[in-house]
């Protein structure tokens, strides 16, 4: 119930803000604000996507490096055992 009340309060506050901006600065100012909000949200999404992509790339490279080192270690181990015999 509290979430519903809070949501309605936010909607009312946003509507009041829209009215105030439209009355004082004109309707185009409100549209400009909406456009700025959308640009900011898009930049945040892009930044988060890049962070996730970078993290996945680092994990993939580390996993590949570990696998490579295991293979090289196994190869040297087989060679060492073969030389000992």
Question: Which pLDDT tens digit goes with each residue over 48-85?
Answer: 999 999 999 999 999 999 999 999 999 999 999 999 88
Residue 22 near residue 30, CB atoms below 8 Å: yes
Tell me the per-residue pLDDT of 5-26, one tens digit each, with 9 for 90 and over.
Answer: 999 999 999 999 999 998 999 8
Domain count, the chain: 1
The boundaries of the domain holding residue 9 are: 2-84
Tell me the per-residue pLDDT of 29-50, one tens digit each, with 9 for 90 and over.
Answer: 999 999 999 999 999 999 999 9
Which 3 state secondary structure label does DSSP give 63? helix
Residue 21 near residue 30, CB atoms below 8 Å: yes
């Amino acid at each position: 119930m509290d979430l519903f009340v809070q949501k309605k309060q936010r909607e009312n506050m946003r509507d009041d803000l829209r009215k105030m901006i439209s009355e004082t600065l004109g309707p185009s100012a409100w549209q400009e604000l909406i456009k700025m909000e959308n640009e900011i949200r898009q930049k945040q999404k892009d930044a988060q996507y890049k962070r996730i992509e970078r993290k996945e790339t680092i994990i993939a490279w580390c996993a590949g490096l570990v696998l490579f080192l295991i293979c090289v270690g196994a190869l040297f181990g087989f060679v060492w055992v073969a030389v000992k015999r």
